[in-house]
Amino acid sequence: MPHSSAPVPPAPSGTPVPPGTSVPRAFTVCFVCTGNICRSPMAASVFRARVRDAGLDGFVVVDSAGTDGWHEGDGADPRTVAVLDSAGFETEHVARQFQADWFARLDLVIALDRGHQRSLRRLASTPEDADKVRLLRSYDTSAGVDLDVPDPYYGESDGFEECLTMVEAASEGLLEAVRDAVEGRAA
């Protein structure tokens, strides 16, 4: 779908904005899995590349977190790093636990499976915050009825490759939804 006019980018941090000028804030997306070392950093890396390739770098902020804090401060699982590296994606990452007060600054919270979706919706203090929580594979029209991205942590490297395939397939539809939201803000 062609997009005739590019949205106005948000002002860089510290840039003075003339009085009376409205500057849209960046659209924020946070991917969430269990420990924030496998699926969510993988999804964030892939989506960050899609955002950059689409020319939306200054318009979209991509983040990730885990529902649990078991791995806080750790890097991504080495198998995640290997799969991302071999596919040409960035791999810099530090695991964090999702906090309920983040809903205020996030536009979309992308859960990697239904368990994460339930946990995140329980954390939401308002119906509007709960509505921000979506399943990643819901953006993949070929996903069928099983919208979970399986946790590859306890398996072999082929599970990480399968995870990457699912993440890449869903990222295209998510990018279109985010692009539409960004353009809607700029209109």
Is 107:181 a contact under the CB 8 Å cutoff?
yes
Structure tokens at 70: 């078991």
DSSP H helical segments within the chain, as ranges?
A: 39-53, 78-87, 114-123, 127-131, 157-186
| Residues 6 or more apart in contact with residue 6 via CB below 8 angstroms | 55
| Residues 6 or more apart in contact with residue 156 via CB below 8 angstroms | none
Q: How many CA atoms lie within 13 A of 138 on its CB side?
A: 12
**Is 163 designated active site?**
no
Structure tokens at 60: 């979209």
Catalytic: which of 63, 140, 148, 151? Answer: 151
**Is 129 designated active site?**
no
Catalytic: which of 33, 79, 96, 137? Answer: 33
Catalytic: which of 30, 38, 39, 79? Answer: 39
**Is 33 designated active site?**
yes
Active site residue ranges: 33, 39, 151
